[in-house]
Amino acid sequence: MTAYIIRRLILGVIVLLLVTMLVFLAMRLLPGDPLIIYISQSQVEMFSPERLAELRLEYGLDESLPMQYISWIGNILRGDMGKSIVLGQDVGYLISTRLPITIYFGAMSFIVSAFFGIIFGVICALRRGKWIDTVVTVLANIGITAPAFWVAILLMYLFSLTLHWLPTGGYVAPTESLGQSLRSAIMPVFCLSLFSVAALTRQTRSAMLEVVSQDYIRTAWSKGLRERKIILRHTIKNAMIPVITILGLQVGLIFGGSVLIETIFNIPGMGRLLAQSLFSHDYQIVQAGTLVVAVVVVLSNLAVDISYGWFDPRIRYG
């Protein structure tokens, strides 16, 4: 098992390195003067050629691409993620204030999705064909089709603007007021988890049905085991193996979704920061932000891979 984890870790590091290269290259593909990675377009137009040449030296743009990459990585590892072109603040600082908020909402959504998705899926599989299966399956099929941002608008229209039950968004730190915090989090979390709950319900249901038709379940019945034990001990653990894969994918999806949801609900998180930065051409933030998101995704995938080993002994003991 340890060997397996170490292998996964090394792979993770390699992947992260590749991500940094991709991000670096993507920035270099920008049309126009490479200086716009560091300063705004309007400044580029304003400054004299001498000033621009100075700046190029300052930002190391005269060096070869690999050198630039290495110094950039070096800076990041030292904690220097650059300075925001538009906001003037240290990028590292900006991210450190926004990231926890996104993780707050993201973690809640992830837990909600996992919990409800798996439970609904199991119930549907066990009550296959009965009305609850039909209803929940239909809802799940609809859940994966609804654009999260549209649902957000719909909910906001209903619950905030019309019924005035919930605030239109914003963020209240849980340390300030837990009640308020949760109240304003209801709609965003719902929107962020909608797709995942539906996808997990479908996948769990399908995995359970697949497992139930396996020979070893028939063996379990032939041993005289009772239904409850067969489900809890023999079926669910096997069914979780494919479900874990899907669960892992949700992390990336939730992050992606937070770009839109945070924008709509006015939540000061990473997602909104990235969206705004892309529009304001604040490439310093885009670079670092993408990297940070990738790190979180890779780490959570690692966690998923490791838990794979726990569920499936064939992976553990090769």
Within 220-239, which residues bind other proteins (CB under 8 A)? Answer: 220-227, 229, 233-234, 237-238
CB-based burial of residue 148 (10 Å sphere; 0-12 exposed, 13-18 middle, 19+ buried)?
buried
Q: At 202, list the tokens.
A: 């479908």
Which of 5, 6, 10, 26 contacts other proteins by CB under 8 A?
Answer: 26
Single-letter code of the amino acid located at 52: L
Minimal distance, residue 37 CB to other proteins, in Å: 11
CA 36 to chain centre: 28
How many C-beta neighbours within 10 Å does residue 116 have? 16
Q: Residue 212: which residues within 8 A CB-CB, separation 6 or more?
A: 125, 235
The site string for other proteins over 276-295 (x = CB under 8 A, - otherwise) reads: --xx------x---x--xx-
**What angle in degrees, to the nearest 10, is found between the helix axes of 283-311 and 2-28?**
160
Distance CA 193, CA 170 (A): 18
Q: Residue 136 to residues 121, 194, 206, 212: CA-CA distances in angstroms?
A: 9, 13, 13, 20
Q: Which is nearer to other proteins, 180 or 245 (CB)?
A: 245
68 binds other proteins (CB under 8 A): no
177 binds other proteins (CB under 8 A): no
CB-based burial of residue 29 (10 Å sphere; 0-12 exposed, 13-18 middle, 19+ buried)?
exposed
Residues numbered 104-143 forming contacts with other proteins, rule: CB under 8 A? 141-142
Secondary structure (3-state) at 90: strand
Which of 194, 253, 285, 288 contacts other proteins by CB under 8 A?
Answer: 253
Residues numbered 6-25 forming contacts with other proteins, rule: CB under 8 A? 11, 14-16, 18-19, 21-22
Q: Which is nearer to other proteins, 242 or 268 (CB)?
A: 242
How many residues touch other proteins under the rule CB under 8 A: the total is 75
Q: At 300, list the tokens.
A: 């959570």
Single-letter code of the amino acid located at 303: A
Select from 28-36, 37-45, 47-55, 176-184 the region that touches other proteins (CB under 8 A). 28-36
Which of 44, 55, 73, 144 contacts other proteins by CB under 8 A?
Answer: 144
Q: Which is nearer to other proteins, 92 or 242 (CB)?
A: 242
165 binds other proteins (CB under 8 A): no
Q: Which is nearer to other proteins, 43 or 160 (CB)?
A: 160
Minimal distance, residue 200 CB to other proteins, in Å: 15
